[in-house]
Amino acid sequence: MSAGSRASWRTPERREAAMAMALQGVTSMVNAGAMSGSGNLMDFLDEPFPDVGTYEDFHTIDWLREKSRDTDRHRKITSKSKESIWEFIKSLLDAWSGWVVMLLIGLLAGTLAGVIDLAVDWMTDLKEGVCLSAFWYSHEQCCWTSNETTFEDRDKCPLWQKWSELLVNQSEGASAYILNYLMYILWALLFAFLAVSLVRVFAPYACGSGIPEIKTILSGFIIRGYLGKWTLLIKTVTLVLVVSSGLSLGKEGPLVHVACCCGNFFSSLFSKYSKNEGKRREVLSAAAAAGVSVAFGAPIGGVLFSLEEVSYYFPLKTLWRSFFAALVAAFTLRSINPFGNSRLVLFYVEYHTPWYMAELFPFILLGVFGGLWGTLFIRCNIAWCRRRKTTRLGKYPVLEVIVVTAITAIIAYPNPYTRRSTSELISELFNDCGALESSQLCDYINDPNMTRPVDDIPDRPAGVGVYTAMWQLALALVFKIVITIFTFGMKIPSGLFIPSMAVGAMAGRMVGIGVEQLAYHHHDWIVFRNWCRPGADCVTPGLYAMVGAAACLGGVTRMTVSLVVIMFELTGGLEYIVPLMAAAVTSKWVADAFGKEGIYEAHIHLNGYPFLDVKDEFTHRTLATDVMRPRRGEPPLSVLTQDSMTVEDVETLIKETDYNGFPVVVSRDSERLIGFAQRRELILAIKNARQRQEGIVSNSILYFTEEPPELPANSPHPLKLRRVLNLSPFTVTDHTPMETVVDIFRKLGLRQCLVTRSGRLLGIITKKDVLRHMAQMANQDPESIMFN
Amino acid sequence: MSAGSRASWRTPERREAAMAMALQGVTSMVNAGAMSGSGNLMDFLDEPFPDVGTYEDFHTIDWLREKSRDTDRHRKITSKSKESIWEFIKSLLDAWSGWVVMLLIGLLAGTLAGVIDLAVDWMTDLKEGVCLSAFWYSHEQCCWTSNETTFEDRDKCPLWQKWSELLVNQSEGASAYILNYLMYILWALLFAFLAVSLVRVFAPYACGSGIPEIKTILSGFIIRGYLGKWTLLIKTVTLVLVVSSGLSLGKEGPLVHVACCCGNFFSSLFSKYSKNEGKRREVLSAAAAAGVSVAFGAPIGGVLFSLEEVSYYFPLKTLWRSFFAALVAAFTLRSINPFGNSRLVLFYVEYHTPWYMAELFPFILLGVFGGLWGTLFIRCNIAWCRRRKTTRLGKYPVLEVIVVTAITAIIAYPNPYTRRSTSELISELFNDCGALESSQLCDYINDPNMTRPVDDIPDRPAGVGVYTAMWQLALALVFKIVITIFTFGMKIPSGLFIPSMAVGAMAGRMVGIGVEQLAYHHHDWIVFRNWCRPGADCVTPGLYAMVGAAACLGGVTRMTVSLVVIMFELTGGLEYIVPLMAAAVTSKWVADAFGKEGIYEAHIHLNGYPFLDVKDEFTHRTLATDVMRPRRGEPPLSVLTQDSMTVEDVETLIKETDYNGFPVVVSRDSERLIGFAQRRELILAIKNARQRQEGIVSNSILYFTEEPPELPANSPHPLKLRRVLNLSPFTVTDHTPMETVVDIFRKLGLRQCLVTRSGRLLGIITKKDVLRHMAQMANQDPESIMFN
């Protein structure tokens, strides 16, 4: 389309057709079918090559190209929709398919979350006993159905029998205790063994939390099967098993993975999403939001989590759709009502007491603790995971899981705070002590003369139970901290939210009780005098537990706004945003002071995924010329010329290199860039031409220009490959600062970028080169970037 | 830095220095002071030119360049911080200045919002009467301070006197009514006249809602004075006046403008923000969030509003800081407690009754109404504003305001629903009818036999008061719809949120009462049978009002998630998200069917701001070659050559053209691009050189290369201008689809982009060209893009 040819455009139609022709270079022939009207302008190859436009496994997608392909598809449907009623309806269906997919994802993710909750509830109780009336009832369901129980002894109902009662008819005594202990360990081992075996045999991708991989996939990487149907099934089943086994892990991260699998499954039903990797990732972003929504009962927090933590490309349309999916999922889960409290999570709480400015100090202390825990956890966990990868340890994943489960069960059972499920523990720690509370944590010494309404209990001195609980909590805290480091990263589904929150909640509750007792016994101290009079209810230890949980979760994941919003949705009140935020900010600052990476980024680096983090700031003064290939001393760049190479030359080049594509230049002397050809498409085009076109032999000249080159009379028929040529490759000059190049790669989602000076091609920068350079500048081992 | 010169790099230090040199082209010499160490590599001009790096009024900023400048600044501070303790402290202060600015913005925005609320409260009541004990008390404050009032007759306290009581000692009767009516109109006219005069004389930018301009500014446009201190002061004062005058407008949009003025003011105190237009815009985004936070008492909604509606470049760091600013602002406002209800807004409500599936139908109907209202309002308002711009009408802004105020006051006074302030009206419409409610809207016929707790009142038949209220509401609705169209866009501060919500709330309340009465009288209809038994409290008309308000606000602004979140923060319960979302989605779909533009985008287009909307999808098949200048038949592109033009040539070129910059090519024959020079910097550099450098005369050769060109012996001293050369201009090929070009302009925030083919420079595309092309493809008048 030179200046001369433009003059020949007479009618708008021809112009449009010619433009469309030119666009083919970008859209890579996928929609060539739509072009059949402009016959005289067509290339030799009428049909699109099969498989063009899909990517290979462990490769990076080109966001610009995917977007352009979707626009083409959309344009085609819009123009067709005017032809007939049927096409119009089809275009409407296409426009609505996004909402339908969101609805389906919400429904399935909510249902799965409900089923998982119910199954975990039952199987956790199965470790302690069984319901005689129906073995599939959990402890609570069993006792609810038996009529004779009153509120007080709802924990002791005849239909629910501990294993010792059932097997040897003893409910008390040392032998009963030991029998129950053994049954607890056995069930835990059975569940864990089943889980790890299922993962090993059927779906190796089902292990871990999945969030690092989902972040990588959403940034444009292809990992086939990671979001497949088998992964969905096995992850759901094994998640129930591992959570029930009592291991120190949570279901929240894996639920995000499960929701993304749902998203991938439903997007494969609609060609709009299944055939476009960019559009598919929009669906997956929304699915991640739905996953967090059901994990925490926080639809808004889920959307923000997806936006802040997981997603890469998040247009406003996706924001709105994510919100819809998150809401549908939350309401589905609510209709299932797995916890019987009309709430979406086990640990929903509502406080009614205000907090005071002076309390900010312990809250900030908890933030510091959360930051330190985050740093400690990330360092130790990464060190352990690296050891697992590099030593013989990694060869026995089943044994590892069995050993860790056994240790967990043996140590956890004697301590009431580790024996129960972690969610229940968090729930108890978050709860304020009411008048009817039977927990050890609420064993305060009541003033017999005081007659007040039950919901406004003043601060009281701690009783024996509270002191016992403090010791047990301290032991449980140490145990949780250590065992979580070894648990996260094993070959089973494992989330990190719940253990982190548990660590923070335990620390927070202890601090809270400490402050409460201090305030009770020292009303006259200056710090307490202004806000805590005798007989007042000034300190809420449950609030401290919640603040601690937020701090620890923030320290590990480095979430900020989404964390506070999730916590805000848990408590349902704006009042506590300031304490939560103070703790979250402190925790992030403290943790960031020791290392910028959150646990997910650390695992991404550990696994060497090519992930270009939006949050990292690149501030070095290097230039594109320092990063591009070929470097000085390396062989020159492999290029194609526009009209002087033979089929054989190109085939040899393809065979001898493994580059993803080749720049096309005018000639080797001038090195002026005219375009870029993808390896995959070159191979397909040549293969197709050799099979279908007559006269194409090894020494046929390949040309990328509009007109065939002038050849000697007896030379074989030339092969036109303009169609596989991307006429608008992305270029930067060699003087472009790498900072700008990194920004371009991030924002436009490029795979590669060509480097020129004064129009001459100098080299190429791929995403991998950028990542390697960034690792190098950060003094990391650049070879840790493995894939692609 | 040719391939040859690279070979001479021996030590890393020299290499770094050379890189830094090269970077100068990008960073445009602002930090030239930092370079003084590498003397032998320096240009002739040691000192940075004054004013370089700032932009002219009504020009677009270059985001990439601003970012790069900030990185340089940061790098400089980091390297200096290792030199001494003092520099280290300075670097810490610099790192913390972002948070300090946020804190200050939050405090000031919250305080201003509180002051505005208090003043509006007093002045609105002043239209009706005055407090005898202290004239600065509002009606409510006056009656609270007088001791003798009980709960029942709190509206009639002796200290509060209506004007008729004060002036002619009559409280009842026709003449008292007429006197009060006249006083009401007089006060309204006085307030409005004062407001429009203040705006005219002191700060013309203080008019309107400000959101369209803020959107444009945040997208990178410079409008000097729009966020200045005078605008802040005058907008605050006039906002109080116009809201008190009873005009059909709200304070929410202007509050965002006020908060942004605060943001601009505080960012001018820190050089980090005052000297960098990109960083300043990050602060402004956060300030916008703080503005919405105090306008609606919705910190999270504020952040999402800033993200979804206002901001252009919103990195995650800004998200977190916005949230902080929004929270501080909300808590400041809460400490001031202007409404005396411990809430941030007048119309905070909490419902306790559930909603039923069948009610979704009326909710969706309300959504349709909202969409239709949005379309009607935008079309009529834009038509009227265009008429104001193009006819003589626009020449009499004061008269226009006076006339509209008079009409508003005359029609509003007789109807109790339009006489009071719009916020109070919305509050009453949102409220559920309790047992103690004295409002006409709650005049139901009570069943005397029924003795139930007061907070669970069943549906009752409507009394006479309700039917009267329905008529008055219907009249008020029509009046509001018509008058708002004429009010929005006058030369006074005017927000749109409150009138839109009022329209929706009135329609919603009427629908709600209708459904309620239908359900009461026809329990046996199939639609009601399942969920509404006699004696049950099934329908909450207040909820319908809220849903209607959300629908109408959504129809006008096309907000989605932020709208629902704001409404969710108003009600404080997840239960009503589904009704709100159903209405918001319907309203957006209906409104979008008639036109994609929200009211802010429509006003941006009307005013011709160069705003490149992130939401618009560009789907046409045009190429860069169709958009670039020069077009066919136009004179060739004005370019500079790298070493053959004289100072005079360049000065002539600058004088004869008004381009913002010139591409620099190797020579006119080869047209190979080597860089881009900004007009502003060229002018400054030549001026500086002529003043300070000896031997620079009109026929000195200008050169942009590293080495001076070989010149004849007697030629004047050449002038090296490599420093003003941007060595990494952005280029695309002529075959690049415009879709991609638009994407690049949006995501990277470019000012211009050069078009090449095979390394030869063909033309240039500026942001204005892109906007003009987009308008052309959307069949709009391309000449409506005026600025820049």
> Which H or E run includes B760?
strand B760-766
Tens of pLDDT along A149-197? 444 455 567 778 888 888 888 777 888 899 999 999 999 999 999 999 9
Q: Do B319 and A564 touch (CB under 8 A)?
A: no
Task: List Cβ neighbours of B628 (8 Å cut-off, separation of 6 or more).
Answer: B734, B755, B762, B763, B764, B765, B769
- Of A64, A619, A736, nearest to B743 by CB-CB distance is A64
Confidence at residue B644, expressed as pLDDT on a 0 to 100 scale: 86
Q: Do A733 and B756 touch (CB under 8 A)?
A: no
Residues of A in contact with B68 (CB under 8 A): 737, 739-740
Confidence at residue A785, expressed as pLDDT on a 0 to 100 scale: 53
A411 pLDDT above the threshold of 80: yes
Task: List Cβ neighbours of B357 (8 Å cut-off, separation of 6 or more).
Answer: B531
Chain B residue closest to A22 (CA)? B735
Query: Are the beta carbons of B253 and B210 closer than 8 angstroms?
Result: yes
Q: Do A728 and B727 touch (CB under 8 A)?
A: no
d(CA B180, CA B213): 40
Query: How is residue A749 annotated by DSSP?
Result: T
Q: Which residues of chain B have pLDDT under 50?
A: 1-51, 149, 151-152, 154, 452-454, 787-788
- Of B25, B674, B728, nearest to A758 by CB-CB distance is B674
A455 pLDDT above the threshold of 80: no
d(CA A478, CA A512): 18
* Number of Cβ within a 10 Å radius of residue B386: 12
Choice among A461-470, A662-671, B312-321, B346-355 with the minimum mean pLDDT: B346-355
Contact residues, A window 580-599, toward B, CB-based 8 Å cutoff? 581, 585
Quickly tell me which residue has 């059949």 as its tokens: A36
For residue A671, what pLDDT band results from cuts at 50, 70 and 90?
Answer: confident
Q: At what angle do helices A85-126 and A229-244 cross, to 10 degrees?
A: 20
Query: How is residue A307 annotated by DSSP?
Result: I
Q: What is the dihedral of CA A211, A216, A218, A219, to 10 degrees?
A: 140
Looking at the complex, report in whole angstroms how far the Cα of residue A213 sits from the nearest Cα belonging to chain B.
21
Tens of pLDDT along A46-81? 444 444 556 777 788 888 888 888 888 888 888 888
Tens of pLDDT along A80-104? 888 889 988 988 888 889 889 999 9
- Of A1, A68, A614, nearest to B737 by CB-CB distance is A68
Q: Do A615 and B316 touch (CB under 8 A)?
A: yes
Q: Is A16 on the interface with B (CB under 8 A)?
A: yes
Query: Are the beta carbons of B130 and B163 closer than 8 angstroms?
Result: yes
d(CA A732, CA B57): 30
Closest CA to A589 of B231, B96, B211: B96
Tens of pLDDT along A550-576? 999 999 998 877 888 888 777 666 677
Confidence at residue A172, expressed as pLDDT on a 0 to 100 scale: 79
Do the bridges between strand B760-766 and strand B645-646 make them parallel or antiparallel, or are there none, so unpaired?
Answer: unpaired
Closest CA to B503 of B435, B429, B436: B429
Q: C-alpha angle with apex A381: A378 to A384, nearest 5 degrees?
A: 145
d(CA B436, CA B271): 57
- Of B19, B619, B756, nearest to A71 by CB-CB distance is B619
Tens of pLDDT along A362-391? 999 999 999 999 999 999 999 999 998 888
Confidence at residue A365, expressed as pLDDT on a 0 to 100 scale: 95
Query: Are the beta carbons of B371 and B591 closer than 8 angstroms?
Result: yes
Chain B residue closest to A559 (CA)? B320
Ramachandran assignment for B766, one of left (phi > 0), alpha (psi -120 to 50 degrees), beta (any other): beta
Percentage of chain A modeled with pLDDT above 70: 86
Tens of pLDDT along B579-608? 888 898 899 889 988 988 889 999 988 888
Which residue type is seen at A614? Answer: V
Bond into A630 cis (ω within 30): yes
Confidence at residue B344, expressed as pLDDT on a 0 to 100 scale: 61
Q: Do A733 and B727 touch (CB under 8 A)?
A: yes
Residues of B in contact with A74 (CB under 8 A): 619
Contact residues, B window 293-322, toward A, CB-based 8 Å cutoff? 299-300, 303, 308, 315-316, 319-320
Q: Is B352 on the interface with A (CB under 8 A)?
A: no
Structure tokens at B153: 């007759």
Q: What is the mean pLDDT of residues A420-448?
A: 78
Query: Are the beta carbons of A62 and A752 closer than 8 angstroms?
Result: no
Closest CA to A690 of A652, A670, A729, A719: A719
Interface test with A, best of B312, B621, B722, B755 (most A CBs within 10 A): B621
Query: Are the beta carbons of A50 and A41 closer than 8 angstroms?
Result: no
Interface test with A, best of B75, B279, B561 (most A CBs within 10 A): B561
Structure tokens at B84: 């001494």
Confidence at residue B488, expressed as pLDDT on a 0 to 100 scale: 92
Query: Are the beta carbons of B417 and B427 closer than 8 angstroms?
Result: no
Q: Is the ipTM of this complex over 0.95?
A: no
Domains of chain A: 1-42 (no CATH), 61-127+204-345 (1.10.3080.10), 357-606 (1.10.3080.10), 624-784 (3.10.580.20)
Tens of pLDDT along B6-45? 333 333 444 444 434 333 333 333 333 333 333 333 344 4
Interface test with B, best of A642, A758, A760, A777 (most B CBs within 10 A): A758
d(CA A254, CA A259): 9
Looking at the complex, report in whole angstroms how far the Cα of residue A66 sits from the nearest Cα belonging to chain B.
11
Distances (CA, A) of B20 to B26, B32, B250: 10, 10, 52
In degrees and rounded to multiples of 5, residue B692 shows phi and psi of -105, -30
Confidence at residue B438, expressed as pLDDT on a 0 to 100 scale: 66
Confidence at residue A337, expressed as pLDDT on a 0 to 100 scale: 76
Write out the DSSP string of A595-650.
-S--HHHHHHHHHT-----SSPPP----BHHHHSBSPTTSPPP--EESSSEEHHHH
Residues of B in contact with A341 (CB under 8 A): none
Which residue type is seen at A638? Answer: S
Q: Do B735 and A75 touch (CB under 8 A)?
A: no
Q: Do A561 and B759 touch (CB under 8 A)?
A: no
Confidence at residue B696, expressed as pLDDT on a 0 to 100 scale: 82
Residues of B in contact with A294 (CB under 8 A): none
Tens of pLDDT along A9-49? 333 444 444 444 333 333 333 333 333 333 333 344 444 44
Q: C-alpha angle with apex A700: A695 to A704, nearest 5 degrees?
A: 110
Contact residues, B window 195-254, toward A, CB-based 8 Å cutoff? none
In degrees and rounded to multiples of 5, residue A438 shows phi and psi of -100, 0
Confidence at residue B10, expressed as pLDDT on a 0 to 100 scale: 37
Query: Are the beta carbons of B762 and B32 closer than 8 angstroms?
Result: no
Q: Do B564 and A759 touch (CB under 8 A)?
A: no
Quickly tell me which residue has 């066919």 as its tokens: B632
Q: Do B74 and A619 touch (CB under 8 A)?
A: yes
Burial of B76 (0-12, 13-18, 19+ CB in 10 A): middle
* Number of Cβ within a 10 Å radius of residue A450: 10
Alpha helices in B672-737, H assignment, sequence order: 679-692
Q: Do A739 and B68 touch (CB under 8 A)?
A: yes
Distances (CA, A) of B649 to A365, B653, B675: 68, 6, 18
- A-B contacts at Cβ under 8 angstroms: 190
d(CA B206, CA A60): 50
* Number of Cβ within a 10 Å radius of residue A104: 19
Query: How is residue A736 annotated by DSSP?
Result: S
In degrees and rounded to multiples of 5, residue B78 shows phi and psi of -65, -45
In degrees and rounded to multiples of 5, residue B707 shows phi and psi of -105, 145
Contact residues, A window 40-99, toward B, CB-based 8 Å cutoff? 64, 67-68, 71, 74-75
Structure tokens at A16: 């449009």
C-alpha of A119 from chain center: 24
Q: Do B71 and A560 touch (CB under 8 A)?
A: no
Q: Do B621 and A744 touch (CB under 8 A)?
A: no
- Of A74, A320, A673, nearest to B619 by CB-CB distance is A74
DSSP-derived 3-state class of residue B490: coil
Sign, CA torsion A450/A453/A455/A458: negative
Confidence at residue B243, expressed as pLDDT on a 0 to 100 scale: 93
Residues of A in contact with B621 (CB under 8 A): 16, 19-20, 23, 75
- Give the predicted TM-score (pTM) of the model: 0.83
Tens of pLDDT along B304-360? 888 888 887 777 788 888 988 998 898 888 788 777 666 666 666 767 677 887 888
Percentage of chain A modeled with pLDDT above 90: 28
Query: Are the beta carbons of A654 and A683 closer than 8 angstroms?
Result: yes
